[in-house]
Amino acid sequence: MKADKVLIIEDEIKLARFIELELKHEGYEVCVSNDGRDGLDMFYNEKPDILLLDLMLPEISGIEVCRRVRKNSKVPIIMITAKGEIMDKVLGLDSGADDYVTKPFAIEELLARMRVALKRVRSFTEDTGVVLKLKNLVIDSAKRIVKVDDEEVELTKREFELLFYLVKNKNIVITRDQILNNVWGYDYIGETNVVDVYIRYLRTKLDDKYNVKYIHTIRGVGYFAKDEE
Ligand code: CA
C-alpha cells in the first residue's frame, strides 16, 4: 500500500522537525512548510492525504489556510493549537478542520487522531455516488450538493456531514453520542452541546427557510430525520 503523505505547516521549526521524524518513523511520507503562504503552495503541489496545521502562522494564519484548503478539498485537517487558544475559533466558526491537538501533545495522541481522520474521510468516500432523499430535499454525496426543490443549499463541511448522516439513517433516532462518533469522528471531549449547535444551524438553513420539518428532536435522546409525517 502506498504511504499516506502528510503536510505539516508549523512555524516552530523544532516541533515541525520532531513531528516529521516521528511520522516518517511510522511510515508516512512527510513534507514540511514553516509559513501559511508557502504551506498553501505546497498543499496544491504535493497533494497530501492529510494536513497538520498550526493555528498561529506567519504570512497566512492557520484558520485562513484551513478555509482556503476546504474550499476545494476534503483532505482531513488536524489543527495544532497552543494552550489557551480558544477552540471555538477552530471548531465553532467551522473553519473546516476535522480535529485538533493542543501543544504540548503526545505523539501517540496525534497519530491516533490522524488515523481516525484518515479512516473517516475514506469511509465517507465509500459513499460517493450516493443520492439520498428526504421529502423535497436531495443530497448528492459525490458532488457534495444539497438541494431543496432544485434550489442549492449552501452548507459547511460539518453541516453537510451531519445532514448526510441523519438522512442516511432517516426515520431512526440517533443519539448525540452516535452523531459525535460518526460525524465528528472521535470521542469528543468538551462541549457536548456542539451537536445541538449544528442541528440549529441546519434547521435555520433548511427547516426554517423552507418551512418544512426535516429534523425532529427526541428530548433527552437525540435527533432523527423524518421522511413522512
Ligand atoms: Ca505557531
For every residue of 65-123, which 3-state class applies, written as one string? HHHHHHHHCCCCEEEEEECCCCCHHHHHCCCCCCEEEEECCCHHHHHHHHHHHHHHHHH
DSSP category for residue 4: P
Average pLDDT, the chain: 87
Separation of 24 CA from ligand 1 center, angstroms? 22
Report, as an integer, the average pLDDT of 22-50: 95
Separation of 107 CA from ligand 1 center, angstroms? 17
Q: Which of 64-68, 82-86, 139-143 has the highest mean pLDDT?
A: 64-68
Separation of 33 CA from ligand 1 center, angstroms? 12
144-170, pLDDT tens digit by residue? 899 999 899 999 888 999 999 999 999
Does residue 187 register a pLDDT over 60?
no
Cβ neighbours around 184 below 10 Å, total = 20
Separation of 10 CA from ligand 1 center, angstroms? 6
CA–CA distance, 159 with 50 (Å, rounded to integer): 21
**Cβ(79)–Cβ(65) under 8 Å?**
no
**Cβ(113)–Cβ(51) under 8 Å?**
no
